[in-house]
Amino acid sequence: MHHQWCYGVLPLRATKRLFTLLRKPENAAFVIEELRALDGKYGRPGESPLMPAIPCPISSFLMLSAFNFALADDAEENYHGCTFVPLDCNMGSDEGDNNEGITVIDITDPRNPACCFAIVYPKGVLLTPIQYIKLYYRVPDEEAIDAIVGLEDERLVTLRMLAEAWPAEYDEQNTSDVESQSSEPELGVVPGSQIPPLSELVLKPTIIHALETGDTTDIEQLVWLPGKAQTILEILKSYELLPDSSVSLLAQVINHLSPENVDLSSFSLSSPQIVAVLTNVPNVQSLNLSHNPLVTADTVHIILKSTPTLKRLVLLDTSVTDEALSSLLRDHPKLFFNLEALTHPLLLEFLTSEYSNAFAIICHAGNTHI
């Protein structure tokens, strides 16, 4: 994105606002889904097949919002908009109208993003927030200090990361001395090893046996032990098709971890199983059923009728087609009256000839609204 007046404290404050938006579970789900949809489909920068000019419209919207609006009550200036233009993602890092360098933000993991402030000429000079501010303030004032403090605990983008994004511009050979960023170990894996801890090696076959026999009573007693609920959840998620005997155990795990915000994404659960789980989890406010081919429009119908407390429903990468959801919205509108948010590709299309536009950005330029 090109922002005509992005300098001084604005890049820091806008980056902090973007990080806050990215870490919202609702927004993180969008970003992860957009990145997942791109994975493995396009070449590296400059190589075919080229990516679409704006491959991640929701992520772009979040960035546009963060760099143009400050919604805090104490913000001196709530609107920073002027000339801001989405740029082609296939362009180089130093292309376009650029006087001040670029703000680079890595959203590979939206829950743990990274940033840096890069000088285009000479290329390869990466600045920390305080180094960037000192380009404008010999002695940072209170506003500048607040902006620096807002990013002091955030990860920084490295030259190696820039070399991955723009290999033709940044020499990866010269980035070997860059300190690598530490990453969180995978769940259940000992750092520095691919061998799961002994507790998980014992727990997994125990769970498998309990599900086969249909008696999970003993396993359910383990849910309340530190760390066990999340481990059990990941083991259940690994099943290609969960048996009915898993319903009680899964409900116990959800009640322990997050009874109001239920994430069943990537679980192979049938419609009756989903309803059975939710029946045992009172006061469900948010439900994510993404990445489950067993979820259909009938599933949505049943869940909305049986879960009146539901306020948010996420349906990404399911078998709920645009046509089926559109029919459900048209023929049974009362089902959706309690919902505050419904996430489905149908409602994220910017332009479509068959359905009403449900997602749009209103821009103001002079006396014109777009």
pLDDT tens for 306-321 read: 999 999 999 989 999 9
Confidence category of residue 172, pLDDT binned at 50, 70, 90: low
**pLDDT confidence tier of residue 4, bands split at 50, 70 and 90:** confident
**Does pLDDT of 352 surpass 70?**
no
- Residue-level pLDDT at 77: 54
Mean pLDDT along residues 104-117: 94
- To the nearest whole percent, how much of the chain has pLDDT over 70? 82
Report the distance separating Cα 219 and Cα 234, nearest Å.
Answer: 14
Is residue 348 over pLDDT 80?
Answer: no
Q: In this predicted structure, what is the pLDDT of residue 199? A: 59
Q: Which of 123-127, 129-133, 245-249, 297-301 bottoms out in mean pLDDT, i.e. has the lowest?
A: 123-127
- The C-alpha atoms of residue 215 and residue 213 are separated, in whole angstroms, by 6
**334: DSSP letter:** G
pLDDT, tens digit (0-9, with 9 covering 90-100), for 230-264: 899 989 998 988 999 999 999 999 999 999 999 99
Confidence at residue 184, expressed as pLDDT on a 0 to 100 scale: 43
pLDDT higher than 80, residue 1: no
Q: Coil, helix or strand for 54?
A: coil
Q: Is the pLDDT of residue 331 over 80?
A: yes
**Residue 327 predicted with pLDDT over 70:** yes
Closest CA to 55 of 93, 21, 95, 89: 89
Contacts of 207 (CB under 8 A, 6+ apart): 216, 219, 232, 235, 236, 249
| Residue 51: predicted pLDDT | 85
Which residues make beta-bridge pairs with 298? Answer: none
Pick from 48-57, 168-177, 184-193, 222-231: least confident: 184-193
Answer whether residue 192 shows pLDDT above 50. Answer: no
CA separation, residue 287 to residues 4, 29, 31, 324, 343 (Å): 40, 12, 17, 19, 10
Q: What is the C-alpha to C-alpha distance for residues 257 and 226, in angstroms, rounded to an integer?
A: 11
The yes-or-no verdict on residue 176 having pLDDT over 70 is no
Output 150 or 350, whichever has higher pLDDT. 150
Which region, left, alpha or beta, applies to residue 366 given φ > 0 means left and ψ of -120 to 50 means alpha?
left
* CA 291 to each of CA 153, 214, 215, 255, 344: distance values in angstroms, whole numbers, following the listed order: 33, 26, 28, 22, 12
The confidence band for 197, taking pLDDT boundaries of 50, 70 and 90, is low
Provide the mean pLDDT of the chain. Answer: 82
The residue among 141 and 44 whose pLDDT is bigger is 141
Please state, for a pLDDT cut of 90, what percent of the chain lies above it. 39
For strand 102-106 and strand 2-3, is the pairing parallel, antiparallel, or unpaired? unpaired
Residue 108 pLDDT > 90, yes or no?
Answer: yes
Report pLDDT for 287.
95
State the Cα angle at 309 between 305 and 311, rounded to 5°.
Answer: 95
For the cut 80, the answer to whether the pLDDT of residue 121 exceeds it is no
Whole-number pLDDT of residue 300: 97
88 vs 261, higher pLDDT:
261
Note whether 166 and 92 are within 8 A (CB).
Answer: yes
Closest CA to 289 of 342, 359, 236: 342
Instruction: Residue 335: count other Cβ atoms within 10 Å of its Cβ.
Output: 15
Query: Which of residues 220 and 69 earns the better pLDDT score?
Result: 220
Confidence band of 187 (pLDDT split at 50, 70, 90)? very low
User: In the prediction, which pLDDT does 272 show?
Assistant: 95
Residue with more model confidence, 361 or 5: 5
Residue 353 has pLDDT above 60, yes or no: no
SS (H, E, C) 257-269: HCCCEEECCCCCC
User: Which letter, b or e, does each residue of 128-154 get, where b requires 16 or more Cβ atoms within 10 Å of its Cβ?
Assistant: ebbebbeeeeeebeeebeebbebbeee
**What is this structure's pTM?**
0.71
